[in-house]
Chains A and B, each alone.
Chain A
Amino acid sequence: MINFSFQKPTSITDAVTALSKSEDGLFLAGGQTLIPVLKQRLAMPCDIIDLGDINDLKGIVAKKHSVLIGATTTHSEVEASPVVREHIPALAELAGHIGDPHVRNLGTLGGSLANNDPSADYPAAVLGLGATIHTNQRSISSDEFFVGLFQTALDPGEMIVRVEFPIPEKSGYAKFPNPASRYAIVGVFVSSFSGSVRVSVTGAESCVFRQVSFEEALAEHFAIDALTDFAVPSDRFNSDLHASAEYRAQLVRVMACRAIIMIDEEKKQ
């Protein structure tokens, strides 16, 4: 393991100050990506600033039209939250299928978003619900937040404080997980807000994106047969030992259909 010095501030201000004073520091949230990254020497910060003791980054609150989730809320807290289960059950389900139970006990919403792994689940929910990312400096819409491979709109030293998820009429998420890592080979999030539909795709390209052709088709007719005739172009898609680009393109349509089927089944219950 590389050498670094560790700090555990108790306020957002202190954490931001600590980072600004450091020559090359990094925030640590749950560490489920960052610690493996440090072990592999893919990042070599001289200071690690742990956000785990900052109460202002924690917690889940429902407002009239949205659910606010603090950046260091763990995946298992989101999975188990009665508030999330009541208002956006698909989000609780998504959180409950990230990695494995031990990873979910430490991994956080803010950490996942700041990392923006191309196969992570949370970016699909944030983009698929049109959430807003509130930082210590400003509010960023999901359409602007995800910039590219492991890249976000966050400025150096900017910290995610909480994420505001609008409550949809209905939403669903289906992923085809890598059997070893449980990362999405392809994951599709579908949500509907009084007529307008959002469809986001993770795992397929270098960064999460919206499948606009599906959104338009589903806005007219919210059912799987609306997607029957769509061929998804695969030219920008990832191709690796787990799945070819063409296979991923097929999975985008299939996962979108499965997400819609989940929504239908939930309504029947």
Chain B
Amino acid sequence: MTRVSLEVNGKKTSIDIPDNTLLSTFLREHLNLKGTHIGCDTSQCGACVVIVNGKTVKSCTMLALQAAGSRVETVESLCDDGKLHPMQRAFHEYHALQCGFCTPGMLMTAVALAKKGKEIDELSVRTELEGNLCRCTGYQNIVAAILAGAKKMRTQT
């Protein structure tokens, strides 16, 4: 067991965990943040994507202790007191999910992309989604939602 101290969704956390704990397990089992999904557990599907120090990572392929001292953001950070984040609203409006399993990773990838502040188009969105698999939608509505959500995020800031 080792004590890990880090910030998750704005809250400082410090708990003892087994050394071999994955970041995904830490978030789900130790902090009870079940929004981060584990799809493949083999670093391919991207359902477990969270943001660590501003960068998207697959939390099933990072040890919690590697993230010690970091600032971690999960999908639970998006909703503000019951009010959907602009990217979540766009996913809703554009019907960008069916079963919803990949959605947490899609949302975190989309938010990180939008926060880069660069102009984005369909190609850059599709390129950025290289590491996120969705087996329901065929991606079309996800891409449309991300373009709309990113635009909304820009106008709101």
Contacts and interface: CB of A to CB of B under 8 A. Distances in A.
A93 interface: no
B19 A39 contact: no
B65 A36 contact: no
Nearest to B19: A6
Q: Which of B22, B42, B43, B58 is most buried by chain A, counting CB atoms within 10 A of its CB?
A: B43
A28 B131 CA distance: 22
A99 interface: yes
B128 interface: yes
Contact of A1 (B22, B65, B131, B132): B22
Contact of B130 (A2, A4, A48, A182): A182
B46 interface: yes
Does more than half of chain B's interface fall in helix, strand or loop, or is it mixed?
mixed
A4 B2 CA distance: 11
Interface residues on B, range: 20 to 34
A106 B131 contact: no
A103 interface: yes
Contact of B131 (A2, A31, A50, A99): A99
B68 interface: yes
A100 B46 contact: yes
Contacts of B62: 31, 35, 106
B19 A48 contact: yes
A182 B63 CA distance: 23
A3 interface: yes
Interface in B68-103: 68
Interface residues on A, range: 20 to 34
Interface string A88-108: 000000000001111101100
A28 B57 CA distance: 16
A8 B131 contact: no
Interface string B38-70: 000111101001000001111001110110100
Given A31-B63, A100-B131, A1 B20 contact: yes
A8 B68 contact: yes
Interface of B: 2, 18-20, 22, 41-44, 46, 49, 55-58, 61-63, 65-66, 68, 109, 128, 130-132
Q: Which 5 A-B pairs have the closest CB atoms?
A: A100-B131, A6-B19, A100-B130, A105-B55, A102-B131
